[in-house]
Each structure stands twice: as structure tokens, then as C-alpha cells.
Amino acid sequence: MIDWIKLEAQHPDPKLLLNSFDFTREVNIYTAEIKTKFDKATIGRDGYSNAAMTVKLYPSGKLWLTGSLHKLWHGNNYSNFTYPELTDCIEYLQSQFSIIPKNWNILKMEYGVNITTSFEPDSFLNRLIGIKYHPFNRMKPTQVVSGRDCYFTDWAAKIYNKGKQYNLSYPLLRIEKKVIKSRHLQKININTLADLNQSNLAELSNDLLKMLSLVLVNDKSVNLSQLTSRQRNAVANYRNPDYWQELSRYAAPKARQRFEQIISKNGCENYYTEVLELINSKLFELNGSNHKSKEVNDNKLQNIDFIKTVNCNMQATTFAKQF
């Protein structure tokens, strides 16, 4: 669940640490002038890439560690990364740096899940309208990935095609929350590596699901000919990502409710439903029995599935009668 992270600590003996890693400094090749005030190294476990995480060490002993805990432990970040593996990874960092978990402050962090879908992930990405009434952006073309993101002050939502990123033979969708400001984590009592316990991972799971509940997803199966002219005009607006930014904070929730009602009555696609269900199952698998929201969300999903099934059957019957 936990992937990229930025940590800060104070090492009691920086000279000792210098002897433990292959540190370098950037140097101007023409003047021999040292360009940085810190020493830099990369770390990785035996058998995996040695560039999973980057270490920056200042003469004062201030230490920054950035990179993927998932890649550090598995050599990739498209596999599963369970809670027991996370604790083993944290113990590994303690052994490498001689710094206990509670002395590693978390500055930034990304957490999410990889889910294997029954559909091509790009189909879901192409139906994303926005989140919190803000439109999604296409991920930067410099990134070898097909996806959408949306940045806010303290955090960002990232949804992308993990299978395409790594040329996997199966469809893999990544749902991720990127915390930019540590105060967002502090609201759920996460300050240091020691706080990444099973109980707090359950809170992160719920936070991820809460983020996903803010996502607005289009349903392209809605038959516009069966709608009134007023409904057709409304759906045209609702499908426009920029439309939502024009609404007031009072009008937007009502518009979303109307859009979801139209989709539930006239739509037949289950992309969003499947994503919710798979995320719930994956969070339960990764974090164990402390994933509190699974039962509640499973009940919601059953209701959604029932509505969609009835509606799809009705559409199929209507279609059959026409021929």
C-alpha cells in the first residue's frame, strides 16, 4: 500500500554513515568546484536495483531519504506490498542507518493499490470527469504512463495504467493518493515511520476510499434518446469537466446527485463499481482484518450492482423487442 516516501532524520554520527554508503557530490568538471552542500547515495536490497531510494546527508547530520519502499523491498512497485512486508522493510532501514522508526519524520508519502481489472484500464481513465468538482489532468507526457491526476494544496489524486507503464501482460490499474503536505498525514496521527502500524494503515485505507468517493465517473452507455430534452442538456453539461468549476459549492452537490440518478436509471456500465469492489478486496488483503470499511462498502456495492443488473436487463429486453 505504501509506495514513494520522503523521510527526514538526524543522524548522531554522520562520519560513520559516510563509511557505510558510496556517497558522492556533484562537481563542476571545469572548475572542480563542489556544487552541492550534501553527500548523495542510492540504496537497494541485494538482488534488486540499487537505485530504489536516494540518500542525502548534510554535514550537520541531517538526513533525507526519498524513494519507493515498495521497490526497495520487491524491486518493483506493481506487485503486492503487504503490512508484514512493510514492517520488515522498516526494520531493514533501521539496520542500515541505525535510526529507530520513531526518529524518521514523514514529510511526504504516496499510498494506494494496484488492482487487476476485467477491463482495459484506459477505458476507465477515459471516463473520469473530475474529483471534488475539479477536472483531471493528463499525466505529463514525460512520464511513461497513461493516467490522470489532480493536484490540491495538501494532496493529489493519481489514477493510471500500471500495466502499460511496465508492459505487463495483464490489465493493472493504480489508484493512488500523493500527500504533498505532512499536515494531511498528521490529521490521522501519522508523523513518523513508527506510526505506520496496522491501525493507521486502516485509516489510510479509509482515506483512499474517501478520495475515490469524490471522483466523478461518466457512463457512456446512457441512451440519450430515452431522456427528455432537459435531461439531455443536463447530461451534456455534467460530462464536461469544466462545467463543474462554474457551479457554486451549494449547486455542485445537487448537480452530482442528479447526474448519478440519471446514470443509475439509464446507464449500464460497471467500471466504477468494479474498481470500488476490487479496491476494497485489495485493501483487506494487504492490511488484514483491520480494514474496517470493507463490510460497509460491500453492502453499498451490492446495492449498486443490483440497480445496474436490473437496468441492464431492462435495456437488453427493450433492445430485443426492437428486432
Could you give the dihedral angle defined by the CA atoms of residues 296, 300, 303 and 308, in that order, rounded to the nearest 10 degrees?
Answer: -150
- Asked whether the predicted pLDDT for residue 116 surpasses 60, the reply is yes
The pLDDT score that the predictor gives to residue 312 is 54
In terms of residues, how long is the chain?
Answer: 323
Average pLDDT over residues 184-200: 95
**CA–CA distance, 21 with 264 (Å, rounded to integer):** 57
The pLDDT score that the predictor gives to residue 120 is 96
- Asked whether the predicted pLDDT for residue 321 surpasses 50, the reply is no
The pLDDT score that the predictor gives to residue 298 is 42
- Asked whether the predicted pLDDT for residue 28 surpasses 90, the reply is no
Average pLDDT over residues 7-23: 88
Q: What percent of the chain has pLDDT over 90?
A: 73
Q: Any idea which residue has 428486432 for its cell?
A: 323
Position 319 confidence tier, pLDDT thresholds 50, 70, 90: very low
Phi, psi of 134 (to 5 degrees): -110, 140
Average pLDDT over residues 118-127: 96
Give the residue, 127 or 28, on which the prediction is more confident. 127
Query: Considering the entire predicted model, what is its pTM?
Result: 0.85
Residue ranges covered by each domain of the chain: 1-103, 218-321
Residue 307 carries which side chain, given as an amino acid letter? I
Query: Taking all residues of the chain, what is their mean pLDDT, rounded to a whole number?
Result: 87
- Asked whether the predicted pLDDT for residue 192 surpasses 60, the reply is yes
The pLDDT score that the predictor gives to residue 294 is 41
Query: What is the per-residue pLDDT across 225-280, written as a single tens digit (0 to 9) for each?
Result: 999 999 999 999 999 999 999 999 999 999 999 999 999 999 999 999 999 999 99
